[in-house]
Chains A and B, each alone.
Chain A
Amino acid sequence: KQEVTQIPAALSVPEGENLVLNCSFTDSAIYNLQWFRQDPGKGLTSLLLIQSSQREQTSGRLNASLDKSSGRSTLYIAASQPGDSATYLCAVNQGGKLIFGQGTELSVKP
């Protein structure tokens, strides 16, 4: 059974710092991996999608990497801003369904 783990569960950083969020999964038979952002009481916003054949994707200050063989992905956020404060979720697509990690709650202090 696929299990997705995110470390750390919570992270607090000062504004301007670069940071890395980690995601690991136990079964490498995935179609893709997605990173999402969730604001309190809201739905999910898709940030990046990495296909299983890809190694990384970039969007603005965000860079996500994927190492399928080791079951790991990282989300790198450059020059963090208070507006980046949210919960970040990774999810793997297995058989057309998304299996989520429990998220990392990020707080960026001004």
Chain B
Amino acid sequence: GAVVSQHPSRVICKSGTSVKIECRSLDFQATTMFWYRQFPKQSLMLMATSNEGSKATYEQGVEKDKFLINHASLTLSTLTVTSAHPEDSSFYICSASEGDLYNSPLHFGNGTRLTVT
């Protein structure tokens, strides 16, 4: 089955530093990938849609200068949290579609637990 790999699984960083999270589709090409954020005991909140070869589309209220997304190839999207602060601590999950966005299932990575101290 389709596999999405996310790395790292956990990261601890100091306030003010930047952190990069990678999302790879291992056995399929993904024109579109999605980045979500999840707070404890809460649902997933869509942050942005990552499109290969073009700029990401951000959801309302998500700072695009803080959460930089790059989708340079059909198998890799990266999310960089710039100048991280403790309130950025959260669980970040990526997903990718192996086909039609409207009819195909989305496959999710295992998430990245970010802790900013």
Query: Which residue numbers of A lie inside 8 Å of B, CB to CB?
Result: 4, 31-32, 34, 36, 41-46, 49, 51, 89, 91, 93, 96-103
Contacts and interface: CB of A to CB of B under 8 A. Distances in A.
19 contacts: A31-B102, A31-B103, A34-B105, A34-B106, A41-B113, A42-B110, A43-B109, A44-B93, A44-B95, A44-B108, A49-B105, A51-B103, A89-B44, A98-B44, A98-B46, A98-B95, A98-B106, A99-B46, A100-B44
Interface of B: 4, 6, 32, 34, 42-44, 46, 49, 91, 93, 95, 101-103, 105-111, 113
Nearest to A98: B106
Contact of B103 (A32, A45, A102): A32
Contacts of B101: 93, 96
Contacts of B110: 42-43
Nearest to A94: B102
B43 A100 contact: yes
A96 B102 contact: yes
Nearest to A9: B41
